[in-house]
Amino acid sequence: MALEMRPRCERCAWPLAPDEDGAFICSYECTFCVTCANALNGICPNCHGDLVRRPRRNRSKAAAGIAAEG
């Protein structure tokens, strides 16, 4: 199952591209930009789980809507 790769920070609505290095997620895929993740001390305000760097998705595959094969 592929990650949802939400397009915006849930706290400030900053746009986050699938190949963005500055996106952080929790185990429920709540998504935050690096600024908000730092402000939240790396803890998701929704589930209180750890925020970790979201893996990047290849831009060409993301644009085509194709899930990366693993």
d(CA 14, CA 34): 10
Give the pLDDT of the chain (70 residues) as one tens digit per residue: 788 899 999 999 999 998 888 899 999 999 999 999 999 999 999 999 999 999 888 766 555 555 544 4
Q: State the pLDDT at residue 63.
A: 53
* 52-53: strand order across its sheet: 31-33, 23-25, 52-53
Contact criterion met (CB below 8 Å) for 32 and 40: yes
Q: pTM to 2 decimals?
A: 0.79
Three-state SS for 11-69 is CCCCECCCCCCCEEECCCCCEEEHHHHHHCCCECCCCCCECEECCCCCHHHHHHCCCCC
